[in-house]
């Protein structure tokens, strides 16, 4: 069944596209998490610098900016998490759809093999009957 094989290829392609999109979102989440970690490290360095008396007067403005950046990163991470969940649902749905067609193809192949075996049995039975008739007519 060529049409079923084409449907399987199409659904596998769609599944891979959805998996790539999910991987991209997971990469984005990892990048945002890395940015958050780097921001915290930067804050630690700035605090040490401010404690040492170097530019302590500018730390308040820096802290406000860091708080805003931290909030933005956390908001972005939360949004990406939601998108990841949706993408996972899409991947699961695409996998189920692909699997449905693969199972149909497997059932078709089983039916075809059973039919071939049945035809072969009939042919062998016919050969055996013919040989039996020949023996009986000669004997």
Across 12-26, 32-46, 53-67, 71-85, least confident range: 53-67
Measured CA distances, 112 to 4, 9, 115, 117, 134 (Å) = 14, 21, 5, 9, 33
Tokens of 85: 């969940």
Q: What is d(CA 92, CA 137) in angstroms, rounded to the nearest whole number?
A: 67
| Residue predicted with more confidence, 59 or 45 | 45
- The candidate with the shortest Cα–Cα distance to 84, out of 12, 17, 23, 37, is 23
Instruction: Record the pTM.
Output: 0.75
Average pLDDT over residues 20-25: 98
Digit-coded pLDDT (tens) for 105-127: 999 999 999 999 999 999 999 99
Residues 47, 42: Cα–Cα separation, whole Å: 9
Average pLDDT of the chain to the nearest whole number: 92
What residues have CB less than 8 Å from 32, skipping those under 6 apart? 73, 76, 77, 80
Note the pLDDT of residue 106.
94
pLDDT at 38: 95
Phi and psi, residue 52, nearest 5°: -75, -5
Which of 42, 8, 18 shows the shortest CA–CA distance to 92? 18
Q: What's the CA dihedral at 99, 102, 104, 106 to 10 degrees?
A: -130
**CA gap 87, 69 in Å, rounded:** 26
- Cα distance between residue 36 and residue 42, in whole Å: 10
The arithmetic mean of pLDDT across residues 30-46, rounded, is 94
Give the pLDDT mean for 79-98.
98
Mean pLDDT of 70-88: 98
């Amino acid at each position: 069944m060529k049409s079923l094989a084409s449907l399987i290829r199409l659904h596998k392609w769609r599944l891979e596209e959805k998996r790539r999109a999910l991987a991209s979102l997971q990469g984005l989440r990892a990048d945002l998490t890395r940015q958050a970690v780097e921001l915290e490290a930067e804050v630690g360095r700035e605090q040490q610098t401010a404690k040492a008396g170097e530019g302590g007067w500018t730390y308040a403005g820096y802290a406000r900016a860091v708080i805003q950046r931290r909030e933005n990163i956390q908001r972005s991470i939360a949004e990406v998490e939601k998108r990841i969940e949706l993408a996972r649902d899409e991947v699961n749905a695409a996998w189920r759809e692909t699997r449905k067609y693969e199972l149909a193809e497997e059932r078709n192949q089983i039916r075809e093999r059973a039919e071939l075996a049945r035809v072969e049995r009939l042919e062998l039975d016919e050969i055996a009957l013919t040989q039996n008739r020949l023996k009986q007519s000669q004997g």
